[in-house]
């Protein structure tokens, strides 16, 4: 995924208090377009920049793709973040400047670590046609690794645990005694929950802040409905969460220790200040090698420099 709309950087102004966990805060996402595909961007929001180290979340679709046209996001750069790609339906081909070429399917995880710089594309597979539905999230890297080497992992199998009548798949981190094999540079967690009708009680780490991202169906939390296209922010201090649904539903639960910094984000870069972002973008525009080369039939994505 690529935050191709440079105005996606909402100004800082966190107004949601992580220490006020008494009631869920429901935030509306906003519609955006990446490649040719419509998304609902639920993080960052003006009121909420990060949930743990999670700093970006786009719901992709549901929409239809053809064998030749999918997300159609040409090579573009990243720094200072990990991309977490998770599909509910469909297939996407990932290519990157490390030479990776990986088709991802539902239930699998693509995890790309940008470090000091990487580029990638997200393409049609050449053979899959049908619905495409999923989520792409970014995790801000801590100072300890954000200037490090880029990397890519594909996990075809992830641990699953039963929680009452729900099934949890652990994308990253530890949940209910099971640990994902995915790389983790900060103390954070991401799980997919498939719910059946009724109430599910989900155990949480009270030292983390958490948020819910519904992907299918309407969830009821603290007597409030939360729907796809919204994010439910839970703050810190909860040791469990009751979720009610009146039919099959799915969501991502993300959380983590409060992030060490408020990251500065512009386009596809996560940094600590504007100078770092300008330097990265100059490298991308000059194609000076920092971001390597991604072999792709799609054109490199180029946008103007930031206005400052
Ligand atoms: Mn991307």
CA 140 – CA 252 distance, rounded (Å): 18
Q: What does the pLDDT average to over 32-59? A: 92
pTM score, two decimals?
0.94
| pLDDT > 60? residue 143 | yes
How far apart are the CA of 57 and the centre of ligand 1, in A? 12
Distance 256 CA to ligand 1 centre (A): 22
pLDDT score of 91 more than 60 = yes
Distance 4 CA to ligand 1 centre (A): 9
Q: Distance, CA 104 to ligand 1 centroid (Å)? A: 14
- Is the domain 28-286 a CATH 2.40.30.10 member? no
SS (H, E, C) the chain: CCCCCHHHCCCCCCCCCCCCCCCCEEEECEEEEECCEEEEEEECECCECCECCEEEEEEEEEEEECCCCCCCEEEEEEECEEEEEEEEECCEEEEECCCCEEEECCCCEEEEECCCCEEEEEECCCCCCEEEEEEEEEEECCCCCCCCCCEEEEECCCCEEEECCEEEEEEECEECCEECCCCCCCCEEEEEEEECCEEEEEECCCCCEEEEEEEECCEEECCEEECCCEEEEEEECCCEEEEEECCCEEEEEEEECCCCCCCEEECCEEECCHHHHHHHHHHHHHCCCCCCCCCCCCCCCCCCCCCC
From ligand 1's centre to the CA of 164, what distance in Å? Answer: 36
- Distance from the alpha carbon of residue 163 to the mean position of ligand 1, in angstroms: 33
Q: What percent of the chain has pLDDT over 70?
A: 94
Neighbours of 217 (CB within 10 A): 17
Q: What is the pLDDT of residues 233-284, one digit of tens each?
A: 999 999 999 999 999 999 999 999 999 889 999 999 999 999 999 999 999 9
Q: Distance, CA 17 to ligand 1 centroid (Å)? A: 29
Task: Report CA(76)–ligand 1 centroid distance (Å).
Answer: 6
Q: What six digits make up the tokens of 8?
A: 């996606």
Ligand 1 center to 138 CA (angstroms): 9
221 C-alpha to ligand 1 centroid (Å): 32
The CA 173 to ligand 1 mean position distance, Å, reads 22
Per-residue confidence band for 13, with pLDDT thresholds at 50, 70 and 90: low
Ligand 1 center from residue 175 Cα (angstroms): 27
Within 10 Å of residue 165's Cβ, how many Cβ atoms? 12
């Amino acid at each position: 995924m690529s935050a191709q709309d440079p105005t996606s950087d909402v100004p800082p102004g966190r107004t949601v208090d992580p220490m006020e966990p008494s009631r869920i805060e429901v935030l509306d996402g906003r519609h955006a377009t990446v490649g040719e595909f419509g998304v609902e961007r639920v993080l960052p929001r003006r009121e909420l920049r990060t949930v743990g180290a999670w700093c970006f979340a786009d719901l992709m679709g549901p929409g239809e793709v053809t064998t030749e046209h999918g997300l159609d996001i040409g090579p573009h750069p990243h720094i200072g973040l990990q991309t977490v790609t998770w599909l509910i339906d469909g297939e996407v081909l990932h290519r990157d400047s490390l030479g990776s070429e990986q088709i991802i399917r539902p239930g699998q995880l693509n995890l790309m670590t940008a470090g000091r710089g990487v580029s990638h594309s997200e393409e049609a597979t050449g053979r899959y046609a049908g619905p495409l539905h999923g989520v792409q999230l970014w995790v801000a890297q801590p100072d300890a690794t954000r200037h490090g080497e880029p990397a890519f992992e594909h996990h075809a199998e992830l641990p699953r645990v039963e929680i009452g009548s729900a099934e949890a798949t652990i994308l990253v981190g530890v949940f209910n005694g099971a640990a994902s094999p995915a790389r983790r540079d900060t103390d954070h967690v991401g799980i997919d929950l498939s719910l059946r009708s009724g109430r599910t009680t989900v155990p949480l780490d009270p030292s983390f802040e958490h948020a819910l991202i519904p992907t299918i169906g309407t969830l009821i939390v603290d007597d409030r409905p939360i729907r796809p296209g919204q994010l439910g922010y839970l703050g810190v201090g909860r040791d469990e969460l009751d979720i009610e649904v009146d039919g099959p539903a799915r969501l991502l639960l993300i959380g983590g220790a409060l992030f060490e910094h408020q990251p500065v984000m512009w386009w596809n870069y996560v940094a600590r200040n504007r100078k770092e972002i300008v330097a990265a973008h100059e490298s991308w525009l000059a194609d000076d090698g920092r971001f390597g080369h991604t072999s792709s039939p799609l054109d490199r994505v180029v946008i103007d420099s930031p206005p400052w």
